[in-house]
Structure formats: structure tokens, C-alpha cells
Structure 1
């Protein structure tokens, strides 16, 4: 009995691991700024090399005059389409959770792909539509596409599996706006907090900073609680310091300074003129294998169809041989069935 009580005490006094640390976001979607730069640069270089080779195989020398996008320009184009997600969410009256999740999906997609392979417009539409489902705010595909000019259901459905696959089917996202909501509730219970009306203004300002932060890489580098604290500090440094003292989290205030710098320095909307020029060049250097009707596209489809036909023929041959041998399950299963139970 005494031993059991001691064990119970030891367990209860052990430091608790934050729930966020068990998430796929914590394990798989956190990077340093240097890692993000290296990842985007490597993807860009690989895409340029592959697209250049495709152009050259079709027409030698044809790639010499093409001005390919660099990683920074790709990132600017993605950043512009982040703002398009916000506009669409306003049009459809989607909640904050849908908007934030759609933006996260778009960012994560372009850590595995490049805009020269997949244009952000359709990826953005697909990421947002996927977010409505994963956050339990579904909308019919017909209603969704009917309210977006020059958009067909196939524009969304054709990329849905690719987007989900690029996300590694890890759809749950921890967001800073939810962490901010918890901090705001805490502040209302503290004895020296400002009146509710003032707290509401502080919260609204901090939430606007969180929305600005979505234009940056902070969510790919820092946990949502630190981002929320940084945005609260941007809104009202004194009340943030007060909250941190009550939580014995003063050290966290030092960690958020770099987040505040990222938000204030990188949270601007890209120049439309600059991005328009990038998009114009993208039409020229887009991977021709992804352009429906192009020679490279038709050649790739022909290769894929030939490979699929060879697989079908091989499968049919295996089935034929199995039938001739009187074994409908094939050779591999036959070998397994002959094994003893102890094998």
C-alpha cells in the first residue's frame, strides 16, 4: 500500500509533456529558417534542371533563352495566393479555422513541390476545399466552384489526392489563434486586468497580428503558443508581461522577440506588379509535362500508358500461369501455404 502511494506521487509530480509535442506538426512540420531556405532552393534547382532537360529533349537549345524562376520568386507567388485564400474565406464566410488551415496546407505543399510544376492558383483552391472538410465545415464541390470565376470541379478534384499526399495525409493543424483565445480567457480572470472592453481591443489587435503572421514562415519554425504570445506582445507589451509573470513564463518573452521581427518584417503583401511579372515568366518556364496538350505532356502520358499496359500484361500472364498450374493464388502464396506452422 505504501509503495503504491509513493509511485502515485512520483507519477503526479513528473513534468508533463505538452500535448502539442505528440502532434505530427511538432514531429514533421517544424524547421529552422535555414532548413526552409535550403529546402526551397533544392526544390527549385531540381525543378529547373528537370524542366530544362524536358525542353532540350524536345528541341535542343530551346531552354537557353528561358529565364526560370528562382526560389525567392516562387515564394513570393505562393505568398500572394495566401492572400487569395483570405479573400475567398471572406466571400464564403468560412470561419477562422478553415482559413488558417487552408493557408497551412498551401505552405506545406510547396515544401514538397514547386510552382513550376503546379501553379498556386489551383493548388490554393484545392487546399482550401480540403481544409473545409478536415475542419468539419464542408461545402459541396458544386457550390464551391460555382462561386469562383473560371473554376470547374475538375480544377479542384484533379489535385486533391496530390495535395493530400504532399501533406503526408497529416491534416490536423495546431493554430496560434486558438492559443491566443486561451490567453485572452486567462487574462479576464486575472485580478489586475483592464476592463473587458479594453481586453477585447487588445485581443482584436493581437488576432490581426496573427493573421499577418500567416504571410510569414513563423508557423513552420515556432510553436503556436509562442506565436500567440508574440502577437499579444505586439498588441500590448505590458499586459503580455503581466500574463507571463502569472504563469511563471517570463523566459518565454525573450523567445518571442524573433517572432515579432519576422511578423513585422515579412508580413507584407507582395507587390502585385512584381508578382504579375513572375507569373508572366512562369507561363514560359512551367513544366511542359504538366501542360495539357503539349508534346511533353502527350509523351509522358504515352509512357505512363505503356507502363500501365506492361503491368496489366504481366499480371495477366501470372494469372494464366497460376491457372495452368492449378493454383489460383499465384506462386508466392503457394510457397507460403507449403510452410509448416512453425516456419
Structure 2
């Protein structure tokens, strides 16, 4: 995967019909979860603005004037809170001894969820627990719900299950994630076969340092902007610029105008900056203040027991009842008017047509 992406970057003018398309470009991650920094900011700002408007209206409907003194969270503050709960995932994975694939996948799920939702509707604590539990299943590392929740204080099965469909829906049911740590391992294996890279040039501690940078990148937006191979190569460059250069140049096409390492340098520089400047846990005191304010501006429709919550539940039950009644009425009409509520039977011509179509399918 990494080699394919690097080769394509080195030869942007190559006829696409003669170059095999990298597998990564056929993934849902490539199609649905890539953004520019500007797009990410716009998505989060729009979500935040819409959420504030809805919650303000809910406050006003319950008690006119009650929203005037509420200090709502902005998009950056929402991200600060999400980032704190991203840092909780490695801790939980260490406790359960989950493999790195589970950890990385759960973090990706949490980030993607908050590109469709706001913390003022859904607190990251329960979403994080649900995302991690879901990741154990989608990466084929399942754990029973009872074993999972019993090992996490103040957590019940409903805390996880109640949000599982919402999280899945917010992910567009796209559960596969391509990770930088796997790309880094591929690069490291490649380095072992390069003729100009001796054992002395690639000591094990270089890989250990590079994988730490990959893990630090999970605290940032890097995976939403750059490819896994770019993040992996940037992490290797932070650990050993020489090895990163040797590997990149080994993937350049013959006759390239300049070394591939030079072509990639601007992109890798941006990734390295994100990792080194933003790849760390947030300030706990700052997050604590955001969480305190969240209690005052949380959407009351999502707070069990509140007037808005009960009103919304009643409205949903009313709509569900109306839907059931309409369906029952349609069936009653079909029966009383001589129709068949299960659909009319096929006539002989229709049966013959369907049999012919089946015969055609068998011939194929």
C-alpha cells in the first residue's frame, strides 16, 4: 500500500490506464473520510453552530430568556473534550490487553463520530466506550459485553448498547480502517531488503521510536488529512531521516526528475509538524473547565428526565403509534375491499416471464 501511494505521488502524469490503482483508493476511508484542514474546520464549525441554534431554541421553548446567559461550547472546545477521551482508549486497551488494531480502530471511530455529531448532544465518555466495544467486533477481537462493562467502573450494558446503532450509523456502517502502524511495518520490512541499508543503519530502536510517533499521530487530525503511508513515512523520518530518504528514493521510477524524497518533503514536513506539535494529551484543567460548562449547555432533549427529553419521547411514541395505526388501517382496507394484504398472486403470464428470466440466469 505504502509503495503504491508513493509511486503514484512520484509520477502524477502517468497514464492512469497503465498504472494499477492502489488498494487504498478503493477503500471507504479514501472515498468518505478524507478532508483538507479547511474542510475539517468548516465541518466542525457548521456542526457546532447548528447544535447551538437547536439547543438555544429548546431552552427558549421551555423557559423564554433562559439561554441568554448560557456560554455554549465552540468547535475547538468540543475537540478538546473529544481529544481527552481519545487518550482514554489506549489506557483501556492496555487494561484489556487488546491488540493495537483495536486501539487504532476505536480512535478512528471516535474521531469520525464527531464529524457527524456534537458533544453537546452525545458526551464522549459513553461514545468512547461504545466505539471501543464496536472496534473489538469489527477487528475480530470480540469480548463479551458482561466482561467488558464489569471491568469499567460505573458502566452498565445499556451505556454501551444504547449508542451502538447511533455510532454505526454515524460511521455510515463503514467499519474498515486503514492504519499508519501497518504501513510503517510494511516500510520497515522493505528496508530489510534494500542493498544500501545495512543492519547498522536500521537498529531496532529506530522502529520503536517511529511507532511512538505513529501512536502520537492518533491524538491529532493527521489520519483525516493524510494517507496512512504518508503518516508512517513521516514518523520514520522523525526517527531516522536517512532511512526515510533511502526508502522513498528506492520507490522512485526510473528517470524521475528529482529524488522521490525531495518530492515528498513538503507533505512529510506538514505531517511531522502535526505529530510533534499536536500529538500529545490535552491540558486536563482546560478540559475540566469545558466539561463543567458542558453540563450547563447540554441538549436537554438528550438528558433523561428533563421536560424536553420527556416531550421528545412522547412525540416519538405518538409518531410510532400513528405509523402503526396507519399500517393497520391499510391492511383493514385491503381485506374489506376484497384485496390481499400480502400482495396479489402472479397471473400465468407473470409466472412464465419470471421462469424465463430464471432460465436466462442459469445459462449465464
1:195 positional shift: 2.2
Where does the alignment leave 5 or more consecutive residues of structure 2 unmatched?
Answer: 1-14, 253-259, 354-364
**Cα 1:306–1:79, aligned 2, differ >3 Å: closer, same or farther?**
same
1:129 positional shift: 0.4
Aligned-partner Cα distance in 1 for 2:279–2:27: 26
Residues 193-232 of structure 1 correspond to what in structure 2 (within 5 A)? 193-195=197-199, 198-232=202-236
For residue 318 of structure 1, the aligned residue among 321, 330, 333 is 330
| Aligned residue in 1 for 2:143 | 139
Q: Give 3-state SS (helix, strand or coil) of 2:229's partner.
A: helix
**Cα 1:151–1:253, aligned 2, differ >3 Å: closer, same or farther?**
same
| Aligned residue in 1 for 2:101 | 97
1:277 positional shift: 0.5
8 Å CA contact retained: 1:188, 1:196:
no
1:38 positional shift: 0.2
For residue 317 of structure 2, the aligned residue among 300, 305, 330 is 305
1:247 positional shift: 1.5
TM, length-normalised to structure 1: 0.92
| Aligned residue in 2 for 1:259 | 271
8 Å CA contact retained: 2:28, 2:174:
yes
| Aligned residue in 2 for 1:284 | 296
For residue 84 of structure 1, the aligned residue among 82, 88, 93 is 88
**Is 1:116 aligned to residue 120 of structure 2?**
yes
For residue 328 of structure 1, the aligned residue among 340, 345, 364 is 340
Aligned-partner Cα distance in 2 for 1:103–1:51: 27
1:263 positional shift: 1.1
**Relative contact order, higher structure (CA 8 A, sep 6+):** 2
Residues 147-162 of structure 1 correspond to what in structure 2 (within 5 A)? 147-162=151-166
CA displacement, residues 207-247 of structure 1 (integer Å, 9 cap, x when unaligned) = 00000000110100111011100000011101111111111
Aligned-partner Cα distance in 2 for 1:321–1:272: 63
For residue 295 of structure 1, the aligned residue among 273, 295, 307 is 307
Aligned-partner Cα distance in 2 for 1:117–1:324: 47
Aligned residues: 328
CA displacement, residues 178-216 of structure 1 (integer Å, 9 cap, x when unaligned) = 000000001112223242795311111000000000011
For residue 48 of structure 2, the aligned residue among 44, 48, 51 is 44
Where does the alignment leave 5 or more consecutive residues of structure 1 unmatched?
Answer: 1-10
| Aligned residue in 2 for 1:125 | 129
8 Å CA contact retained: 1:31, 1:220:
yes
Aligned-partner Cα distance in 1 for 2:200–2:85: 36
1:32 positional shift: 0.5
8 Å CA contact retained: 2:24, 2:30:
yes
**Is 1:53 aligned to residue 62 of structure 2?**
no
